[in-house]
A and B are shown apart, each in its own frame.
Chain A
Amino acid sequence: MTEGEPLFRLDWVLQHLDMLWQRIGEHILVTVIAVAAGFVISFGLALAVRRYPFIYGPILAISGILYAIPSIALFVLFIPITGLSLLTAEIALVSYTLVILVRNMVTGLRGVPPEVIEAARGMGYTDRQRLWRVELPIAMPIIVAGLRIATVTTIGLVTIATLIGMGGLGYLIVNIGVQRRFPTATITGVVIVVLLSTAVDLGLQLLQRRLTPWARAHEA
């Protein structure tokens, strides 16, 4: 930061709106790919756990280890194999979403009261009907809660992917802001990330309420 450089320059922001939109778009894209892929894989794993409960322990153990590896390390550990690519970034991001999503999905499905399952059986639901019409709707609040955390987490982690050139808003924070000593970019980047996480969090919270009108009475 050069002498006399102000902390924040609104004119710079206004001049670079196009670039900002582009970074936001990139950030959202990387996030959505990671969360969507993580969601699909987690759902598959959760269904597998529903059928074969004994695999839950090993799944938790492996994802726990992945979770313990710092993101900075995880982002670069795969470079020797997958290079500086979107794939490298997504491998790390998806790994983190798995821990959160699998755990919440399994907890949600297991939280369905046994008497409800019993009743559904008694009414002649097939296994698949029971899953889709009884268990998943009941588990939905916890699953969406997991989705909220996974998404907010991912939005934050994407910034670090700027180290390998996939960072979206991280590029503003680090490559322009820190490395060129230009605080305006850093602050802009951080503020947008926080706004984005908050907006997504609120959006998913609304979705959660929409999907589960019966849960509202419990929330208090």
Chain B
Amino acid sequence: MTSSAAVVTLDHVSKRYGPAGTPPAVSDLSLTIPAGEIVVLVGPSGCGKTTTMKMINRLIEPTTGRITIDGEDVMRLPAVELRRRIGYVIQQVGLFPHLTVAENVAVVPRLLRWPETRVRDRVEELLDLVRLDPATYRDRYPSALSGGERQRVGVARALAADPPLMLMDEPFGAVDPILRDRLQNEFLRLQAQVRKTIVFVTHDVDEAIKMADRIAILQRGGILAQYDTPDAILAEPASEFVSRFVGADRGLKRLSLGRVRDLALTSPTTARVGEARADVRRRLDEAGAEYALLLDESDKPIGWIERRDLSGDDGVTPDDATPGSPTLQPESTLRDALSAMLGSSVQLGVVVDEAERVLGVVSVDAISEVLRAPAATVR
């Protein structure tokens, strides 16, 4: 599974559907798509995203300009050969209804005349990769699949001949938001394994931010408004258009790029069940803090105890703590962290590891610090 990823360049590419003089669908677009990255083309409807993408596999031919894949001019290659080397996923998936799942996945390998045993092995491998049990799904027809399963088969089919480049036109556009989120996550995990160069089209800014290594924002007429990492675009939109397109909440959106693990964690004052209250009070005084985090025997957090609830001399009981404070994982996005913290009384987030042992806490201040920082400090 390690066919090297391809570098794609667009060099002053324009596309005009009508005769000379009509406004172009894509104007003088130059982009370099680095190997192994997900580049998302995003922009309002009709801005030329699909046109741009289809010029790469020559479903549409550019009017002027040059497109190369690994330095090779696409116009020099026979179109069908070019396309067999590029994975292609469209919004409606376009599974062939008369073929089984296995046969759908096998289309390109068979066009390439792979030996049957190799085709069969490859199909199994790909179905595993997209988390569809081959025994269950191999012989099903697309009509017997759910929307999400179809999408996955579509992705497997595009990956079949192990192409160094994949083109995906709104691949998750036709599914509901919850499923879309899951497919996005799965796809990102998959990409971490296969490391293809991916050109991904969407009109959804949030999807672009989530999926992209780099985002190309297009303006009507296929004009490139900005081409940069999601973080840079959110931190410093290049124009009025970009900042309107990414939305007034771009600060919050930036937070979804950052992870809790990127923040410096602080150690809270802790208390244990059965410990004398006076001892806890003393530690709070030393730390100058108002709250102590109550832990059980295995270091799992139970809840926060406020200083004024610690009068008296008996031992600390679990009932003293305010329960329900949500915990965060290092992988949680800062956006999720913030919203969890705002919902709890203490406004501190408790970060735990897989065994739910406390790793430390983060504060709202630490997160807003990130928002003030320039691009590229997150991620």
A and B: direct contact (Cβ < 8 Å)? no
